[in-house]
């Protein structure tokens, strides 16, 4: 008979269990889609909402733009895709950004929708005595910016079906990481919020069942002790895609995989070992490596990446994950599986596992030829937050690798159970991130 503890764990992991890849599952459903049926990748509010172009000589506008900018146009077989500062599983970009601005000279107090393709913000709601703070446990008015990351899940479920529940949250975490990086290079203090009245906010923003709020980033300070109330009138529904197919598993999963943070921790500020000007270039240059040169990276570079990714998360929610690494090609380090953190990196088993890593990541050569594959694992107690934090860590790894002039790629596709067994852990594997040397022709200097 199952103990009550096992039942609780089983229930908690239901969404992870149901979205596992295995050697059989990827054969049965290889995720082939007709590219011409891809839903629209950009949400546009109707023309009558006022728009403000983002002027890059204005520091606030530059900050806003940097959180979501298009940094490369790539030609695919089906047409041109706009790639952004943040990576996204399958380049499907389910996340949208809304920003509330309050008490900033020259800007109307309001909630704006960020439109990366037109490099502008659309004012969708003007504030009076209300605002996003009304949905937070600390409802004092924030002078500055409040970013809201939402997921338009159909953009991802169109291709990845139920597994896109994971990708939506990983992508949301990457977008939080892009906001973090933009805040760091713009010297804006910030914190991330995962606990708020998300269901009420979803309703009031008019998202219906098609878009859901995932997380908040606050770049500003509480102004006084007044309370801000919830939005005085709900916003109209505006479709974020040109057509929509519901997925009830994902809609349920978005609600069920979030739990209230049981213990608040004091906010800690991360200190990244990077120089601001070069970091800005790294944000703008970041891309996913499509191929690695199978050679070694330096130990110092590896340790710098480890340092960057382990910086504290500026949030009252404690880190809900651990990190393992398959170290394959690092000069001066024994190849093997390491546990990262806790004041050092501990070798759990020695050996040359690069072929195995390639196989586990569904035979992807980027995992086989990389220098290191990091694996983010979690007990999934707060599944939604753990996935977002894994995405945030992924963004830090991407930016650190780009800063150091080597390559990186997120890997969301792996054989779940076999990877977990390979790492010899009880924790579930949420995400893999590979780093390594690029071929000279792929370097962007
Ligand atoms: C959550 C997530 C999962 C990903 N999984 C894979 C993967 O399994 N294999 C791969 O080659 N790329 C993967 N990528 C990289 C995306 O394909 C890439 O971000 C996208 O094509 C956009 O390109 P860019 O990162 O160069 O801007 C992943 C990215 C993210 C954020």
pLDDT for 163: 98
| CA-to-CA dists, residue 179 to 97, 217, 241, angstroms | 10, 8, 24
Assess contact for 119 and 54: CB atoms under 8 A: yes
pLDDT at 261: 84
Looking at residue 3, its pLDDT comes to 42
CB 165 within 8 A of CB 383: no
* Sheet containing strand 51-53, strands side by side: 51-53, 120-126, 110-115, 95-102, 142-151, 212-222, 191-193
What are the pLDDT tens digits along the chain (445 aa)? 334 444 455 566 899 999 999 999 999 988 899 999 999 999 999 999 999 999 999 999 999 999 999 999 998 888 889 999 999 999 999 999 999 999 999 999 999 999 999 999 999 999 999 999 999 999 999 999 999 999 999 999 999 999 999 999 999 999 999 999 999 999 999 999 999 999 999 999 999 999 999 999 999 999 888 999 999 999 999 999 999 999 999 999 999 999 888 889 999 999 999 999 999 999 999 999 999 999 999 999 999 999 999 999 999 998 889 999 999 999 999 999 999 998 889 999 999 999 999 999 999 999 999 999 999 999 999 999 999 999 999 999 999 999 999 999 999 999 999 999 999 999 999 999 999 999 987 776 5
Does ligand 1 have an atom closer than 6 angstroms to the CB of 87?
Answer: yes
The rounded Å distance from CA 403 to ligand 1 centre is: 18
Q: Using an 8 Å Cβ cutoff, are 370 and 314 in contact?
A: no
Q: 236: CA distance to ligand 1 center in Å?
A: 33
366 lines ligand 1 (CB under 6 A): yes
Ligand 1 centroid to residue 79 C-alpha, Å: 18
SS3 content of the chain, % helix, strand, coil (to 5): 35, 25, 40
Please indicate whether residue 410, judged by its CB atom, sits closer than 6 Å to ligand 1: yes
Instruction: Give me the pLDDT at residue 10, please.
Output: 59
Whether ligand 1 lies within 6 angstroms of the CB of 88 is answered as: yes
- Decide whether any atom of ligand 1 lies within 6 Å of the 373 Cβ: no
Confirm or reject: Cβ of 173 under 6 Å from ligand 1.
no
Out of 164, 359, 363, 411, mutate this one to test ligand 1's pocket (max ligand atoms within 8 Å of CB): namely 411
Q: Would you say the CB of residue 83 lies under 6 angstroms from ligand 1?
A: yes
Confirm or reject: Cβ of 174 under 6 Å from ligand 1: yes
Choose the residue to mutate in 84, 362, 412 for probing ligand 1, maximizing ligand atoms within 8 Å of C-beta.
Answer: 412
CATH 3.40.109.10 holds for 33-256: yes
Domain map of the chain by residue range?
Answer: 33-256, 276-442
**318 CA to middle of ligand 1, Å?**
26
Note whether 317 and 265 are within 8 A (CB).
yes
Record: fold of 276-442:
NADH Oxidase (3.40.109)
To test the pocket of ligand 1, the residue of 288, 391, 413, 434 to mutate (highest count of ligand atoms within 8 Å of its CB) is 288
CA-nearest residue for atom 30, ligand 1, is: 89
The Cα–Cα gap between 416 and 420 comes to: 6
For ligand 1, the distance from its centroid to the CA atom of residue 410, given in whole angstroms, is 5
CA of 442 to the centre of ligand 1 (A): 16
Q: Which of 30, 88, 172 has most ligand 1 atoms within 8 Å of CB, for mutation?
A: 88
pLDDT at 11: 62
Q: Please, what is the Cα angle at 316 between 385 and 384, to 5 degrees?
A: 5
Name the token pair of 44: 């546009």
The rounded Å distance from CA 232 to ligand 1 centre is 40
Identify any residues that bridge with 431 across adjacent strands, giving them in sequence order. Answer: 376
Minimal CA–CA distance to 309: which of 388, 399, 369, 371? 399
How many Å apart are CA 164 and CA 152, to the nearest integer?
11
Instruction: Return all residues near 78 (Cβ < 8 A) that are at least 6 apart.
Output: 35, 36, 38
């Amino acid at each position: 008979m199952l103990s009550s503890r096992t039942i609780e764990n089983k229930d908690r992991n239901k969404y992870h269990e149901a979205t596992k890849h295995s050697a059989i599952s990827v054969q049965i459903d290889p995720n082939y889609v007709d590219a011409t049926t891809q839903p629209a990748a950009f949400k546009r509010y109707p023309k009558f909402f006022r728009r403000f172009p983002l002027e890059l000589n204005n520091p606030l506008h530059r900050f806003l733009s940097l959180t979501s900018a298009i940094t490369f146009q790539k030609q695919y077989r089906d047409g041109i895709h706009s790639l952004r500062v943040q990576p996204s599983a399958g380049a499907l970009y389910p996340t949208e950004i809304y920003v509330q601005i309050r008490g900033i000279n020259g800007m109307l107090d309001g909630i704006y929708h960020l439109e990366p393709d037109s490099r502008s913000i659309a004012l969708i709601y003007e504030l009076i005595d209300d605002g996003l703070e009304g949905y937070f446990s600390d409802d004092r008015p924030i002078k500055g910016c409040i970013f809201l990351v939402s997921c338009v899940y159909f953009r991802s479920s169109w291709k990845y079906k139920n597994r896109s529940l994971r990708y939506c949250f990983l992508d949301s975490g990457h977008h939080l990481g892009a906001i973090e990086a933009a805040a760091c290079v713009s010297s804006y203090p910030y914190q991330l919020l995962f606990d708020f009245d998300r269901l009420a906010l979803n309703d009031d923003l008019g998202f219906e069942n098609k878009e859901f709020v995932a997380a908040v980033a606050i770049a500003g300070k509480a102004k006084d002790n007044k309370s801000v109330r919830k939005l005085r009138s709900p916003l109209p529904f505006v479709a974020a895609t040109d057509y929509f197919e519901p997925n009830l598993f994902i809609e349920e999963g978005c609600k069920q995989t979030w739990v209230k943070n049981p213990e608040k921790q004091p906010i800690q500020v991360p200190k990244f070992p990077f120089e601001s000007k070069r970091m800005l270039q790294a944000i703008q240059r970041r891309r996913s490596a499509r191929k690695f040169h199978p050679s070694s990276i330096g130990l110092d570079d590896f340790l710098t990446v480890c340092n960057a990714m382990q910086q504290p998360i500026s949030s009252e929610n404690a880190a809900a994950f651990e990190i393992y690494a398959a170290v394959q090609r690092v000069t001066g380090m024994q190849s093997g599986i390491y546990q990262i953190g806790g004041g050092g990196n501990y070798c759990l088993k020695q050996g040359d596992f690069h072929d195995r890593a390639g196989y586990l990541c569904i035979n992807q050569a980027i995992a086989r030829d990389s220098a290191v594959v990091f694996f983010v694992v979690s007990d999934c107690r707060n599944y939604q937050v753990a996935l977002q934090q894994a995405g945030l860590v992924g963004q830090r790894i991407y930016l650190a690798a780009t800063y150091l002039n080597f390559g990186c790629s997120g890997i969301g596709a792996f054989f779940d159970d076999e990877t977990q067994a390979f790492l010899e852990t009880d924790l579930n594997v949420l995400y893999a991130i590979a780093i390594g040397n690029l071929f000279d022709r792929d370097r962007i200097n």
